[in-house]
Homo-oligomer: A and B are copies of this chain.
Amino acid sequence: MTEDTVRRAPVDLGIVDGLAQLSFLVQAELGRVAADQGLSVIQLRLLGVLRDREPGMQELARHLGLDKSSMTGLVDRAERRGLVRRTRAPHDGRSVRVSLTDEGHEAARRLAEDAGRRVGALAAHLTDARRALLSSLASELVNGHTEL
């Protein structure tokens, strides 16, 4: 057995595997956070998006990278759980605005809190400086690829 005797030097996975593995790690943690409230990751994400927005189905689908027909189902299920509500848009009889119910806001708050705790824990053993660096690098990537 080598586990005890070899103090393994931290292996650099490279940028691709590093990002991929990290994403699995984070997604797993988000999955646990969501599961604690009986939700899925995509529902968690939906609630997160809706915290500060009240988009139409189309816009929501674009934001989440889903087909519009997938959105119908996603919102259906969230609505069935009382987290989300459909309202008719004022000046367009076709479109719908999706917003959080009170219960939805409450769930979103809990999720954000738990995610803060649990995802934060992933980075807990980093020094403050390195954590800040990671945060800045992650933001740089996200900002560079989310909104262009």
Contacts and interface: CB of A to CB of B under 8 A. Distances in A.
Interface of A: 10-16, 18-28, 30, 45, 65, 115-116, 119-120, 122-123, 125-126, 130-146
Contacts of A135: 12-15, 18
Nearest to A117: B16
With most chain B CB atoms within 10 A of its CB, the pick from A28, A138, A141 is: A138
16 contacts: A13-B135, A14-B135, A16-B120, A18-B134, A18-B139, A19-B22, A19-B119, A19-B123, A21-B138, A21-B146, A22-B23, A22-B138, A22-B142, A23-B26, A130-B137, A133-B133
Given A10-B139, A122-B145, A131-B15, A30 B23 contact: yes
Contacts of A126: 137, 140-141
Copies of this chain in its oligomeric complex: 2
A23 B144 CA distance: 14
